[in-house]
Amino acid sequence: MIELYHSEGAFCVKVLPFLSDPERSVKMYESDDIIEYVKEHYAK
């Protein structure tokens, strides 16, 4: 989903889904990539 919104005097774009993993410095947008990443790094 892409959403346009106004924040603090500027227009911003929010793209969902979005994954941010600060432990590994990883950011990604694509659902299939997110699913594979979570399976690889966090599934038990």
Q: How far apart are CA 34 and CA 20, in angstroms?
A: 10
How far apart are alpha carbons 13 and 10 in whole angstroms?
A: 10
Number of domains in the chain: 1
CA dihedral 26, 27, 29, 35 (to 10 degrees): 30
Q: Give the residue numbers spanning the domain of 37.
A: 2-42
Each residue's pLDDT tens digit, 6-43? 777 788 877 888 899 999 999 998 999 999 999 999 99
Q: Is the dihedral of CA 19, 33, 35, 37 positive or negative?
A: negative
* Alpha-carbon span 19 to 35, nearest angstrom: 10
| pTM metric for this prediction | 0.67
